Amino acid sequence: DAGVIQSPRHEVTEMGQEVTLRCKPISGHDYLFWYRQTMMRGLELLIYFNNNVPIDDSGMPEDRFSAKMPNASFSTLKIQPSEPRDSAVYFCASSFVGQRFTDTQYFGPGTRLTVL
């Protein structure tokens, strides 16, 4: 399996622009998580989905952030409009609960976002 795939790996944009980050979870996984990592705040959960349905979005910082999961193999995290303080590494992770409750989260390589 290719693992969790994220694109783009690096994104540089200007303040006010719309940014869309993409994630393809591991096939068969039923949970998908979006995290953000900064030096100041560390690694924090933004939102997670179960079977394409958002379960907890309490970590989404504000209305400028939105996430969707239109199907089991694709999710997006959108920032509109972007601001310099959104600069961070954004990770996507997926997991499968299964009968044995092996809920290990597998992380993607991350997208490094820089907002100028």
Partner 1 sequence: DAKTTQPPSMDCAEGRAANLPCNHSTISGNEYVYWYRQIHSQGPQYIIHGLKNNETNEMASLIITEDRKSSTLILPHATLRDTAVYYCIVRVKTYFGNEKLTFGTGTRLTIIP
What track of x and - describes contact with partner 1 for positions 39 through 78 (by CB under 8 A)? Answer: ---xxxx--x-x----xx----------------------
Q: Collect all residues with Cβ–Cβ distance below 8 Å to 106 and sequence separation of at least 6.
A: 3, 4, 26, 29, 93, 94, 95
| CA atoms of 76 and 34, how far apart (whole Å) | 9
How much of the chain is helix, strand and coil, in % rounded to 5? 5, 55, 45
Which helix (H) or strand (E) element contains residue 30?
Answer: none
- Residue from 73, 76, 106, 114 touching partner 1 (CB under 8 A): that is 106
CB of 16 to partner 1, least distance (A): 28
What track of x and - describes contact with partner 1 for positions 8 through 37 (by CB under 8 A)? Answer: -----------------------x-x----
Chain residues binding partner 1 by CB under 8 A are 4, 31, 33, 42-45, 48, 50, 55-56, 91, 93, 95, 97, 101, 103-110
